[in-house]
Amino acid sequence: MKKLMGLLTLSFIIISACSKKPDIVTLEKGSPAYQLGKDLATTVSAMDPDSNRVLITAKYFHISTGEVLQLMSSYMGNQTESLKKLNGESLSTFIQQTAMQLAEKKLLLKAVYKAKIEVSSSEIDTILNNQYQQVGGEDKFLELLQASNLNLDIVRQDIRDRTYIEHYFKKIIQEKSQLKEEDIETAYQEFLQDTVVTVRHVLLVTDKKTDVEKRNIRKKMVAILARAKKGEDFVELVKEFSEDPASKENGGLYENFSRGVMVKPFEDVAFSVPIGEISDIVETQYGYHILKVIDRKKNDAPFNEVRPELEEQLRGPERRDIIPSHIAELKEEANLHVIPF
């Protein structure tokens, strides 16, 4: 039933986008999106929901300020308050970027439908469950959504859309890729010469923290590091302090990962600190880490096991060229036009 509902939702999006006479989304007076438009119109008059200006036209759809306001209200929740603090230039830029992102999404979902891309409900569930675990479980995730004035159905729909589009991108890259079999085999030989590393780590999260909060978090990490250096059980320190839900219950363990898997500051330390020793504090986009290097060894995974990962790595540079070029082709085919305001 979930898969059927996902396909029906996608079909509705595509049918709406492909109607001969594109509909213009209008907002109900008094709705949160309508009030947001009235507030933003004091800075950028084009956002007035009563005028509902068309921002982008295409063969399959028109995007109005009403639709952009609806999108921002649904997907940003309480964060829309920050929009009211922007100056006219910054707000106009944000609106234009949001409208274009919406237009590109509509074009891509139309292409997804045409290409008959399929995504199972179990894949969506897995992605959503991973998001639950990143914040400490489903209940915590739902609490955060409620506090942010966001809706789980909207979040799930966004995950579904992005997953469809990602599958479509993979198909396009495979079709247009110049990658040869010998390139993959060469990469595998290089893989066998490289090493993998196993570490345990403590993480204190700093994402979305203020500078003052980050300074206090670092002080806490300095104290944890001192205890680790004195020889306290590292696994116990992980269980007591770490904020990484993916590894905390496993003693902070990440096993046998190769270069290019972790964020670079984490990777640099993991591949340089001597086996058995503890690193200094490492800062990444996620927060502050302390690593204990457990082991390093040569890669020995079979070719068929690592082939998908090797292909993904090798196609990375192609992806940076193929995807923007393909989106540009979709825009040209749809005769997409931006209307300045």
232 in the same domain as 101? no
Residue 248 CA to residue 205 CA, distance in Å, equals 13
277 and 166 share one domain = no
Q: Is the alpha carbon torsion for 150, 100, 159, 131 positive or negative?
A: negative
**Under 8 Å between Cβ of 55 and 48:** no
Q: What is the pLDDT of residue 53?
A: 95
Q: What is residue 131's three-state secondary structure? A: helix
Same domain, 142 and 97: yes
Q: Are 268 and 227 in contact (CB under 8 A)?
A: no
pLDDT at 318: 85
Residue 320 falls inside a structural domain: no
| Joined tokens for residue 178 | 């110049």
Model pLDDT for residues 48-78, shown as the tens digit of each residue: 999 999 999 999 999 999 999 999 999 999 9
Residue in 161, 77, 146 with CA at minimum distance from that of residue 138 = 146
Highest mean pLDDT out of 178-192, 246-260, 324-338: 324-338
Q: How far apart are the first and last CA of the chain?
A: 44
In a domain, 318, yes or no: no
Q: Are residues 85 and 142 in the same domain?
A: yes
> Residues 147, 216: one domain?
no
pTM of structure? 0.66
- Whether residues 145 and 38 share a domain: the answer is yes
Asked if residue 239 is part of any domain, the answer here is yes
Residue 181 lies in a domain: no
C-beta separation of 83 from 72 below 8 A: yes
How do strand 62-64 and strand 54-57 relate by DSSP bridges?
antiparallel
- Pair (112, 201) in one structural domain: no
45 plus 110 within the same structural domain: yes
The Cβ-side half-sphere exposure at 44, using a 13 Å CA radius, reads 26
| Residue 36 main-chain phi, psi, to 5 deg | -60, -45
Residue 53 belongs to what domain range? 2-174+329-338
* Domain assignment present for 315: no
Task: Calculate the average pLDDT of the chain.
Answer: 90
Q: Quick check: is 308 in a domain? A: no
In a domain, 261, yes or no: yes
Distance CA 219, CA 121 (A): 44
Binning pLDDT at 50, 70 and 90, where does residue 135 land? confident
Same domain, 14 and 157: yes
The model's pLDDT over 217-227, given as tens digits with 9 standing for 90+, comes to: 999 999 999 99
What are the CA-CA distances from residue 269 to residues 26, 246, 292, 298 (Å)?
53, 20, 10, 18
Rounded Cα–Cα distance for residues 41 and 47 (Å): 5
Q: What is the pLDDT of residues 74-123, one digit of tens each?
A: 999 999 999 999 999 999 999 999 999 999 999 999 999 999 999 999 99
- Residue 15 above 80 pLDDT? no
In contact, 17 and 63? CB cutoff 8 Å? no
* 311 within some domain: no
| CATH value at residue 278 | 3.10.50.40
Total domains, the chain: 2
Beta strands, E only, 127-214: 195-205
Residue 199 binned pLDDT confidence (cut-offs 50, 70, 90): very high
pLDDT at 7: 37
Q: What is the pLDDT of residue 21?
A: 53
